[in-house]
């Protein structure tokens, strides 16, 4: 009787241990595999939709910035040469976990890329594709390019800051100036800090320095580092 | 527990082995598609947004 109970408990504990190990494998390997697959599919869908002729007959540059998209749908690309020669990731609408598993997520109430106000984006730093794994390498003066259907928007990084998880002010149209009316296009990137914890957030702030139409070709920031259109 | 399951599986040992493997695969699939995605939502390093 006691023997059976002890054996049963032992088996349960070993099983629990195996499940925990499986969960670690799931996090470190499987979520990245799934996220890369999802990211690739979002990216190729977006490129395809851009390449398709516009059914309305209007030119591709007709709209001012990208139109509103559904949550979880890609609408732009982010290029950060500091993170890798051809580092690029689709930007999807929304910052919930299912959205962030497909790329980096655009905070829904913030500005569109290139628009006056604050274009704010969140991304994973560990597992689930971990696009912002090395966001801490980004320095003042680095360039971040947002690519939309008809434009290249080049932002230059002004500063990086580590803040508390409740610092929603970083998303303000003018971060640090609540209620201020924005006068220029700004950029905010957020991720967790430290990489494997969550008691802080790592923030990258920038402002728009150059706008080019797709017809003019990619900005120097990408050409020089070998990025392609 | 495992001995009990083994005793209650039907057929000779090759069949039991096959059935056990299928059972294990089913459990792993359930973990990966339902349990783990639910469990990971509370992991600290997945919280990358600023929020109240």
How confident is the model over B6-49, as pLDDT tens digits?
A: 889 888 999 999 999 999 999 999 999 999 988 988 888 888 88
Distance from CA of B14 to the nearest CA of A (A): 23
Instruction: Determine the pLDDT at residue B40.
Output: 87
pLDDT at A56: 57
Question: pLDDT tens, A91-124?
Answer: 999 999 889 999 999 999 899 999 999 999 999 9
Residue A174: the pLDDT is 94
Model pLDDT for residues A199-215, shown as the tens digit of each residue? 899 999 999 999 999 98
Interface confidence, given as ipTM, is: 0.86
Structure tokens given for A121: 């984006």
Residues B44, A198: C-beta atoms closer than 8 Å: yes
Question: What pLDDT does A227 receive?
Answer: 47
**Residue numbers in chain A where pLDDT is lower than 70:** 54-68, 224-229
Token digits for A181? Answer: 């009316």
Residue pointed to by tokens 């990619």: A218
Q: Quick check: A197 contacting B, CB < 8 Å?
A: yes
Reduced to 3 DSSP states, what percent helix, strand and coil does chain B have, rounded to the nearest 5? 75, 0, 25
Q: Supply the pLDDT for residue B43.
A: 84
Annotated catalytic sites of A, by residue?
124, 192, 201
DSSP-derived secondary structure letter, A182: P
Q: Which residues of A touch B32 (CB under 8 A)?
A: 26, 30
Between β-strands A104-106 and A88-93, what pairing exists: parallel, antiparallel or unpaired? parallel
Q: Give counts: helices (H), strands (E), chain A.
A: 4, 8
Q: How far is A29 from chain B (nearest CA, A)?
A: 12
Q: Do A107 and B51 touch (CB under 8 A)?
A: no
- Rounded (5°) CA angle A108-A113-A119: 50
């Amino acid at each position: 009787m006691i023997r059976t109970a002890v054996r049963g408990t032992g088996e349960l504990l070993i099983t629990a241990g195996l499940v925990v190990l499986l969960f670690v494998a799931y996090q470190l390997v499987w979520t990245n595999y799934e996220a890369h697959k999802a990211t690739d599919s979002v990216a190729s869908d977006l490129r395809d939709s851009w390449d398709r002729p516009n059914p309305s007959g209007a030119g591709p540059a007709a709209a001012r910035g990208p139109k509103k998209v559904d949550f979880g749908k890609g609408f732009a690309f982010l290029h950060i040469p500091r993170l890798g020669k051809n580092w690029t990731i689709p930007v999807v609408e929304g910052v919930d976990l299912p959205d962030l598993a497909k790329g980096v997520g655009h905070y829904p109430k913030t500005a569109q890329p290139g628009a006056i106000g604050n274009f704010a984006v969140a991304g994973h730093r560990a597992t689930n594709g971990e696009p912002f794994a090395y966001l801490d390498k980004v320095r003042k003066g680095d360039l971040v390019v947002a690519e939309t259907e008809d434009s290249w928007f080049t932002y230059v990084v002004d500063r990086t800051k580590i803040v508390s998880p409740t610092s929603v002010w970083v998303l303000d149209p003018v971060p640090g100036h609540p209620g201020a009316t924005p006068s220029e296009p700004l950029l905010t990137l957020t991720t967790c800090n430290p990489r494997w914890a969550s008691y802080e957030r790592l923030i990258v702030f920038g402002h728009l320095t150059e706008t080019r139409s797709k017809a003019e070709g990619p900005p120097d920031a990408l050409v020089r580092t070998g990025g392609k259109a | 527990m495992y001995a009990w399951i083994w005793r209650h599986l039907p057929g000779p040992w090759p069949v039991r082995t096959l059935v056990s493997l299928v059972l294990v695969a089913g459990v792993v699939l359930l973990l990966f598609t339902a349990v783990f995605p639910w469990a990971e939502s509370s992991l600290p390093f997945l919280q990358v947004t600023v929020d109240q």
